[in-house]
Amino acid sequence: METISGARALMKALEKEGVKEVFGLPGGANLPMYDELYKSNIRHILVRHEQSAAHMADGFGRVSRKPGVCFATSGPGATNIITGLATAQADSSPMVAITGQVPVNMIGRDAFQESDIIGIANPVVKYSFQPRHASEIPTVIKKGFYIAETGRPGAVLIDIPKDVQQNEAQMEFPDEIKIRGYHPWTDPDVIAIEKAITLLLSSSRPVILAGGGVIISGAFAELQSLAEMLMIPVVSTFKGKGAFPETHPLSVGPIGMHGHAEANKIMAEADCVLAIGTRFSDRSVGTFTEFEKHLKIIHLDVDPAEIGKNQTTSVAVVGDVKASLRIFLRLLLQKATKKSEHNVWFDHVTEVKEYWKQNLKLHPGELTAAKILRKLREVLPHQSIVTTEVGQHQMWASLFYDVIHPGTFFSSTGLGTMGWGFPAAIGAKTARPDLPVVDIAGDGSFNMTENSLATSVLDNLPVIVFLVNNYTLGMVAQWQRTFYDRRMIGVDQKHCPDYVKLAESYGAQGIRVGNLDELGNAIKAGLKSDVATVIDIPIDPEEDVLPFVAPGTSLKDMILPS
Question: Which residues neighbour 487 within 8 Å (Cβ) at sequence distance 6 or greater?
Answer: 480
Smallest gap from residue 19 Cβ to another protein (A): 22
Backbone φ and ψ for 330, nearest 5 degrees, come out as -60, -45
Smallest gap from residue 67 Cβ to another protein (A): 16
Smallest gap from residue 307 Cβ to another protein (A): 8
Residue 33 near residue 160 (C-beta atoms within 8 A): yes
Taking CA atoms, 352 is separated from 115, 232, 252, in Å, by: 55, 15, 9
Active-site residues, by number, are 50, 112-113, 162, 475
369-379 vs 516-528: helix crossing angle, rounded to 10: 40
Taking CA atoms, 422 is separated from 46, 137, 274, in Å, by: 15, 32, 34
Smallest gap from residue 466 Cβ to another protein (A): 36
Question: C-alpha angle 311/215/257, rounded to 5°?
Answer: 50
Smallest gap from residue 95 Cβ to another protein (A): 16
The full DSSP string for 13-81 is: HHHHTT--EEEE---GGGHHHHHHHHHSSPEEEE-SSHHHHHHHHHHHHHHHSS-EEEEE-STHHHHHT
Q: Judged by CB, which is closer to another protein: 89, or 368?
A: 89
Taking CA atoms, 465 is separated from 373, 387, 519, 537, in Å, by: 13, 10, 12, 10
Listed in sequence order, the DSSP H helices in 506-558 are: 516-528
The full DSSP string for 104-134 is: GGGTTTT-TT---HHHHHGGGSSEEE--SSG
CA distance 277 to 275: 7
Say which amino acid occupies 306. E
Q: Judged by CB, which is closer to another protein: 119, or 364?
A: 119
Say which amino acid occupies 262. E
Smallest gap from residue 123 Cβ to another protein (A): 5
Instruction: State the DSSP H helix or E strand holding residue 315, giving kind and residue range, or none if neither.
Output: strand 315-318
Nearest to 387 by CA among 446, 445, 438: 438
Binding site for another protein (CB under 8 A): 118-119, 122-123, 126-127, 147, 179-182, 303-305, 307-309
Smallest gap from residue 177 Cβ to another protein (A): 12
CA distance 61 to 509: 27
How distant is the alpha carbon of residue 510 from its chain centre? 26
CA distance 392 to 371: 15
Smallest gap from residue 539 Cβ to another protein (A): 39
**Would you call 283 helix, strand, or coil by DSSP?**
helix
Smallest gap from residue 381 Cβ to another protein (A): 40
Residue 62 near residue 428 (C-beta atoms within 8 A): yes
Taking CA atoms, 6 is separated from 97, 118, 136, 249, 408, in Å, by: 16, 19, 8, 56, 38
Q: Please name every residue paired with 299 in a beta bridge, in sequence order, or none if there are none.
A: 275, 316
